[in-house]
């Protein structure tokens, strides 16, 4: 753990998260519907909209293999003014110590949201909250691998959050059930990172969720992160909605797909990830390989079969760096990834 998208009336929701495409697990998908009543941010999700909303799949370990010790699930909704999140986390010992906004919240057990509106892996947002309802919101210009500017002073203006503890926080004498968090993020703030500058109605954004959980020690009734015999903190557990494949949330190409339906909560529509996204995953796989090469001279990307189509990516170096690109056989668009990791699309002839 680092600091810093046709309406349809069928019941079946198309999940694509169980097979492999060029060694890339297909990210999770979720359909977020519009609210049918007013959402009151109290951490309890008692409204009809929330009752009608689908739960996400259960969180998995960040690498996508191990089952977490405790259950975590989320729901999403939206209206013309806000994007809403609700998460429930099983936890027999609900504890938190940090009370200062914009401190490093994942030093406590926390819930985190990562949002990339454009899906270009640049200009994205991170949000963290602990069981004391202390938040950290920040903006990153690029993933850490590309040496970003981390804008820690950026705030989600108008943000509303509330935590509900099912038990007693910071009390080691009892066993808790867990805690939940409810969040309302104003679109006005989120659209600052969206080049389209409009609500994503019937479109998708790339979003992921993470839950950080620590082993703990108790000293005089006070919780703290557990240390080993040498005095070093034991590593945290990172439980996520859509697996990253690596212990790094800051590879946005792995994040899930959230499709914002114009239909009301309680509707049932299907969403399938566009074919070009499969090509993107492959290009990012090659991008990561190329970055690690000491000698990139004369490097060539072999053709590959994506969704029954042969694609022939090219790697090119130029005076300002390098890029890898391909013409999509599905849309005719030129898909490329620059040396700094930014994905770009140029409209083709189809």
Helices (H) and strands (E) in the chain, counts: 3, 23
User: Are residues 71 and 153 both part of a single domain?
Assistant: yes
Tell me whether residue 6 is in a domain. no
User: Are residues 183 and 292 both part of a single domain?
Assistant: no
- Single residue among 214, 233, 264 that ends a domain in this structure: 264
Half-sphere exposure of 277 (CA within 13 A, CB side): 23
User: Are residues 251 and 305 both part of a single domain?
Assistant: no
Tell me whether residue 4 is in a domain. no
Tell me whether residue 8 is in a domain. no
Mention every residue, 6+ apart, whose C-beta is less than 8 A from residue 26: 16, 17, 18, 19, 20, 273
Which tokens sit at 63?
């690498």
User: Are residues 215 and 83 both part of a single domain?
Assistant: yes
- Write out the H or E segment, with its range, that includes residue 59: none
Rounded Cα–Cα distance for residues 103 and 128 (Å): 10
Q: What is the pLDDT of residue 349?
A: 61
User: Are residues 332 and 224 both part of a single domain?
Assistant: no
Rounded Cα–Cα distance for residues 99 and 130 (Å): 9
Rounded Cα–Cα distance for residues 333 and 350 (Å): 8
User: Are residues 63 and 179 both part of a single domain?
Assistant: yes
- Single residue among 264, 290, 308 that ends a domain in this structure: 264
User: Are residues 200 and 147 both part of a single domain?
Assistant: yes
User: Are residues 97 and 170 both part of a single domain?
Assistant: yes
Q: What is the pLDDT of residue 189?
A: 94
Using an 8 Å Cβ cutoff, are 77 and 84 in contact? yes
Say how many domains are in the chain: 2
Q: What is the pLDDT of residue 15?
A: 30
Q: What is the pLDDT of residue 25?
A: 82
Tell me whether residue 3 is in a domain. no
User: Are residues 172 and 316 both part of a single domain?
Assistant: no
Buried b (16+ CB within 10 A) or exposed e, 319-349: eeebbbbbbbbbbebebbbbbbbbbebeeee
First to last CA, the chain: 41
Tell me whether residue 286 is in a domain. yes
User: Are residues 207 and 324 both part of a single domain?
Assistant: no
Q: What is the pLDDT of residue 296?
A: 85
pLDDT, one tens digit for every residue, the chain (350 residues): 444 433 332 222 223 333 334 345 899 999 999 999 999 999 999 999 999 999 999 999 999 999 999 999 999 999 999 999 999 999 999 999 999 999 999 999 999 999 999 999 999 999 999 999 999 999 999 999 999 999 999 999 999 999 999 999 999 999 999 999 999 999 999 998 777 789 999 999 999 999 999 999 999 889 999 999 999 999 999 999 999 999 999 999 999 999 999 999 999 999 999 999 999 999 999 999 999 898 888 788 889 999 999 999 999 998 889 999 999 999 999 999 999 999 999 987 65
Which residue range forms the structural domain that includes residue 191? 20-264
């Amino acid at each position: 753990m680092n600091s810093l998208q046709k309406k349809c009336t069928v019941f079946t929701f198309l999940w694509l998260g169980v097979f492999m495409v060029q060694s890339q697990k297909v990210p999770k998908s979720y359909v977020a519907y519009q609210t049918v009543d007013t959402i009151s941010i109290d951490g309890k999700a008692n409204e009809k909209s929330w009752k009608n909303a689908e739960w996400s799949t259960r969180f998995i370990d960040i690498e996508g293999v191990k089952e977490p010790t405790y259950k975590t699930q989320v729901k999403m909704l939206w209206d013309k003014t806000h994007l809403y999140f609700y998460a429930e986390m099983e936890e027999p010992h609900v504890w938190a110590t940090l009370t200062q906004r914009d401190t490093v919240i994942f030093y406590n057990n926390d819930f985190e949201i990562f949002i990339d509106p454009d899906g270009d892996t640049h200009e994205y947002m991170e949000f963290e909250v602990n069981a004391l309802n202390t938040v950290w919101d920040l903006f990153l210009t690029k993933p850490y691998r590309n040496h970003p500017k981390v804008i820690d002073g950026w705030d989600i203006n108008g943000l509303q959050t509330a935590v509900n503890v099912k038990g007693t926080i910071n009390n080691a004498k009892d066993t808790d059930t867990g805690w939940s968090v409810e969040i309302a993020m104003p679109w006005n703030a989120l659209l600052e990172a969206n080049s389209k500058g409009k609500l994503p109605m019937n479109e998708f954004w790339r979003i992921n969720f993470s839950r950080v959980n620590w082993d703990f020690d108790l000293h005089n009734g006070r919780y703290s992160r557990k240390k080993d015999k040498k005095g070093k903190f034991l590593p945290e557990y990172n439980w996520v909605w859509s697996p990253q494949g690596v212990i790094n949330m800051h590879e946005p190409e792995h994040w899930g797909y959230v499709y914002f339906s114009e239909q009301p909560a309680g509707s049932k529509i299907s969403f399938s990830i566009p074919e070009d996204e499969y090509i993107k995953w492959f290009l990012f796989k090659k991008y990561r390989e190329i970055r690690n090469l000491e000698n990139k001279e004369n490097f060539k990307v072999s053709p590959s079969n994506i969704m029954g189509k042969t694609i022939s990516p090219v790697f090119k170096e130029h005076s300002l760096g390098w890029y890898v690109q391909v013409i999509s056989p599905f849309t005719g668009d030129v898909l490329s990834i620059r040396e700094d990791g930014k994905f770009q699309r140029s409209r083709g002839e189809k």
